[in-house]
Structure 1
């Protein structure tokens, strides 16, 4: 038996998911005068790019936008390592970096257990922007 509040609750949760951003780039620039590479370089910031999305049997439904941080794309597969690196490099260039070093990435994919229809994918990449 389905209660009357179940459908409005699912609609509210869906709207909340659409209203939030599915991609972001965080930046930190406090290195406390420590070096970040074997060769002398000037560190600008440490960057962490995250893109995640929801899929219906492998078809992208709601994913992170690469063009604008903290926004979503619909029916576009942006949860890839290439897209996360592109997003991070855009921010590094905007900060005046000539390269990004010490790259590290992580990819994750899980079924959303309570739906049995949707899966969640996430990709993260981090690195240090230097001059």
Structure 2
């Protein structure tokens, strides 16, 4: 990854995905498959998938651990909302994970926020400690 104009080399791109009107948010087996498909789609090396079901009308929280970082999900089936993170580094492109996630959860509305992780700090560590 190229250096930005500050001289810092970003570690990777972190996508924050907000899905509204989504389905399948209480289906742990489907969520497991979605995380695996998303990891494969962006060219990441899958290390493990860990999920927790909250039971009843609760949702699922989980993470796909990747050699290149992670894909995580937190679901609220009662409102049709899912919060997903796709953070990868190296030659992986997190945008390639979006299509399989959209196919699996079929959201009616999506918000995508991209963050370059590891780019120029706004505050030094010393100024944060002094605050």
State the TM-score, normalizing by the size of structure 2. Answer: 0.31
Q: Which has the higher contact order (CA 8 A, sep 6+)?
A: 2
